[in-house]
Structure 1
Amino acid sequence: MARTSSQNQNEKNKIANWVIRSFVSRDPLFVNTSVSLLHSTIISVSVVFILVNQCLKNGSDGMFEHSQLVGGTWEWAYAALCFSCGYFAYDQLDMLFYRLYSGSIPSILVHHMILLVCFTLALYRNVTINYLILTLVCELHSIFLHVRKVRRMAGIRSAKSTIVRVEWVLNWLTFIFARSLSHILITIKLVVDAPKFEKGVELPLALFGMAGMNFINVGLGIDLFNAFKRERNPQKNSDHHGE
């Protein structure tokens, strides 16, 4: 079932890819970023809906208990995870096919590989679904990462622009709270609840996955800060390259 659901979501991502290529732009980077923005938006809305729906139906008491996070599955959580799993599979292939990455060990490819392993195993075994839904809170930040990329492709780069300023405020807020803090809290929860896990691959894989995510977040934060400095001082950056 998990495999079929993920395949269906992969097909939907391909359709979105085709629509953007046919009617908007054929530039591989623009298409990839647009599909990524679409995914981040849909998943962010879905995760918020899942959490709010769960609170309204059953209350927040016990919602984040170990038994719920590991063995339970909130309503719509499985479908949302399948959607993301399909997207990450598509995105990994798309980036490899069009070489939309840089560096000898691209962090984005490592990020997707970690998620694909964790998501696929969780969906197959139907465990830790709710834990993984919580990790997807970070997609709120991904929205603004993709918006920034699309905005720069559109030629809107002035640091004095209100749009750019608002975007950077939202970018930093979501990076700190939706991505960094949420992943740190999930990691702490895993460590605290470690004795409650049964013997198996769930805990080691979860700890490995979160360690990888936190490490990637550090690198992302550094890249984000450097990008922020470049946009705030475009003239200085231009002079530096001209030397």
Structure 2
Amino acid sequence: MARGSGGGGGRSSKESRAGPFFMATLVMWGISVFFEILFNKRSELVPILIGFAFFQSANVVIRKFVSRDPLFVNTCVSLLHSSITSASVVLILLNQSTKTSISKMFEHSQLVKVTWPWAYQALCFSCGYFAYDQWDMLLYRLYSGWIPSILAHHLVLLVCFTLALYRKVTINYLILTLICELHSIFLHVRKVRRMAGLRDAGTKIVKAEWCLNWLTFVLARLISHILITVKLVRDAHKFDKGVELPLALFGMAGMNLLNIFLGIDLFNAFKREIKSQKEQDNHQD
């Protein structure tokens, strides 16, 4: 998802209130996690803190040795998260496929009440990243608008992920949604590439990047999230009464809506790069 450049004195009063609101929700989330770990003895949630510390440490290293630009640092850490998470999800799926059939893997009971090996830890680790990223964007004001979509997106993810982790349900469903991080890799690669000054759309590397960007957007984000939503709707009658189904449907509806907006933004960015390259070619002629 696109990140705002942040800062600036022209912020509206409504926009200026967005930061404290999302910071307050993040602090409340942090208190909740610490309470569960310390007082309810939920040691299995410790990977959330490890994830937060890991990505914050990566932030410090990149800031010290590569660049001090907050947006560049944030994007590099996001690229690191996407790479680690997508690799983890693929390995979890491959490992589980060696133990059971594909059809059984995606049965309702397997997705809701069973947790695949390492899926819980991977979800905790990724949850720690979203908390770190929310903190980093709030700290350096890497957002825009009086209801910043990126902050709202992270808040929804933190709520959905944390509730699932507390209750130990729908973990496998959430792991499947994270396959979209395969596409996020190329979103972040494109941003880092452009911030590094490499904007020639005519090069083979950039063309290959765009091909992989579109391919992973369609397969790992658009189609996969639609299939997960269809699966939820078809199995709605199999869910126990409670918040699991409404929360899952609400979360997937939000993700699908964001995917549509992301696809539009991606298409517009693609058109701009093609147009810029044509103008550059005509100028050289």
Q: Normalising by the residue count of structure 2, what TM-score does the alignment of the two structures yield? A: 0.81
AA partner of residue 35 (structure 1) = V
Moved more, 95-104 or 134-143: 95-104
State the identity %: 72
Number of the residue aligned with 1:199: 241
State the 1:214 CA deviation.
Answer: 0.5
- Residue in 1 that maps onto 2:144: 102
Offset at 1:236?
7.9
Structure 2 counterpart of 1:14: 56
Question: Which residue, 89, 97, 118 being the options, matches 1:55?
Answer: 97
Counterpart for residue 263 of structure 2 = 221
Q: 1:64 aligns with which of 84, 98, 106?
A: 106
Structure 1 pair 213/87, CA: closer, same or farther in 2 (3 Å)? same
| Structure 1 equivalent of residue 68 of structure 2 | 26
- Do the aligned residues in 2 keep the contact of 1:2 with 1:124 (CA within 8 Å)? no
Match of 2:182 in 1: 140
- Across the two proteins, how many residue pairs are aligned to each other? 238
- Give unmatched runs, 5+ long, in structure 2: 1-42, 281-285
SS of the aligned residue for 2:103 comes to coil
SS in 1 for 2:104: coil
What is the Cα-based RMSD across aligned positions, in Å? 1.5
**Residues 83-118 of structure 1: CA deviation (Å, up to 9, x unaligned):** 110000100111111111233333222221111111
The aligned residue for residue 185 of structure 1 is 227
State the TM-score, normalized to the length of structure 1. 0.94
Query: Quick one: distance in 2 between partners of 1:98 and 1:2?
Result: 31
Determine which structure has more spread, i.e. the larger CA radius of gyration. 2
- Which AA in structure 2 matches 1:50? I
Spell out, residue by residue over 1:141-193, the C-alpha distance to the aligned partner (whole angstroms, 9 max, x if none). Answer: 00000000000011111110111100000000111110011100000000000
Q: Unaligned stretches of 5+ in structure 1?
A: 239-243
Quick one: which amino acid aligns to residue 160 of structure 1? G
Q: 1:129 aligns with which of 145, 148, 171?
A: 171
Find the counterpart in structure 1 of residue 191 from structure 2. 149
The letter of the residue matching 1:72 is: V
The answer to whether the Cα contact below 8 Å between 1:107 and 1:216 also exists between their aligned partners in 2 is no
